Structure formats: structure tokens, C-alpha cells
Amino acid sequence: MRAASPSRLEAGGRWALGFAGHQHLKVGAVLAGECWLMPGDAEPAHLRAGDCYLLASNRPYAAGSDLDTRPVPSSTVLPSPWPGTVYYRTTPDDPARTVLISGSLSFDGTAAALLLGSLPPVVHIAAGSSPAAVFTPVLQLLGDETTSDVPGSATMRRHLTHILLVQALRSLLRPGAR
């Protein structure tokens, strides 16, 4: 399992970004505000501050402020590779902005096929739920690590992404999950 250093997106107003599908898992969380996660092969999920998600699909998906805004291709807005934080239609002092962090985890072909084939397209762990309690300290650390680029922050972000994945998978294994 390899984790890409997670990225931070701060967006405001009406916005929607479309992402190409990849053969990996995407794990993320909303640190502030709210948004919609719109996987092409599943029902949209409304995410609020403190919510975490696992996106297990190799199909395109979108994220945005609402379901009615047409997504623009993320490649036209987001630099590659991402710096620590990208501001899209907002500023750091906008109290109404949405703050998202997300990271990708890639696996060898066999493991990726097994995981993508056995997981639901979207796992939504709502803030305040019993599984979400373990995410709070990790999200706080990820929030801190993604606000500035200090020595070791890329390594910390990658390891914290692994922890988010493990906790998301554990939440699926709980009785009554899915």
C-alpha cells in the first residue's frame, strides 16, 4: 500500500470539481463547512464538518457545494502536484469556506481489484457517530499538518492517511455497518 501525501482544498461559494477515476482508494474528510461527494456509480453523499469518507471506485466522481453546479474538470483548476493547500473561489479568512482533505492509496493490481470489488463505492462515516470518535484526533493532526509545510509534514500526512484508511475499514467491519 502506498499513500500519496494528502491534499487540502478550501473552496467557497458555488463550486464543483470533477475528478477522473483511478485504480486506487480515496480517503478524506471535511474539516469545515459542507459539500456533496458525487460518485458516478452511487448516490451522492452530503458531507459535513467532521465527516469522513472512503471512495472505493475507479470511476469518475465529483465534489461540490451543491448538486446543481456543473463540475469543472479538476485538472483545469488544481495544480499537479498539489501544494499543501489550494484555494478555489475563496480566501483563507472566509468563514463560510469548505475545507476538505483527501489522500489516495494505491495497491498492486490484485489487491486493488479485491478491495475495489468488495467495498461499497462510498463509505460515509458521519461526525458524531460512534465510529467517528476515533477520527477526531487524526483529523486534528491532518488539519495541522496540511496548513503549513514544515519539515516532516509530508511524511506525517502519508502516515495519517494510512490511519484514516484503517479506521474507515474498521468502521465497515462493525456489526450493522454498510
- What are the tens digits of pLDDT across the range 30-74? 999 999 999 987 899 999 999 999 888 778 999 999 999 999 999
Domain for residue 69, yes or no? yes
Instruction: Specify if 61 maps to a domain.
Output: yes
Residue 10 domain-assigned (yes or no) = yes
Residue 91 resides in a domain = yes
- Whole-model pTM: value is 0.88
Query: What CATH number has the domain bearing residue 101?
Result: 2.60.120.280
Residue 22, pLDDT > 80, answer no
Degrees, nearest 5: CA angle 26-73-111:
25
Among 134, 136, 141, residue whose Cα is nearest residue 169: 134
Give the pLDDT band (50/70/90) at residue 104. confident
- Rounded to whole angstroms, the Cα distance separating 143 from 8 reads 8
Collapsing DSSP to helix, strand or coil, 105 comes out as strand
Omega into 44 within 30° of 0, i.e. cis? no
Number of domains observed in the structure of the chain: 1
120: three-class secondary structure by DSSP: coil
Cell numbers linked to 55: 471512495
Q: For residue 80, is it within any domain?
A: yes
Q: Would residue 178 count as lying in a domain?
A: no
Q: Which domain holds residue 41?
A: 2-173
Higher pLDDT, 149 or 82: 149
d(CA 147, CA 149): 7
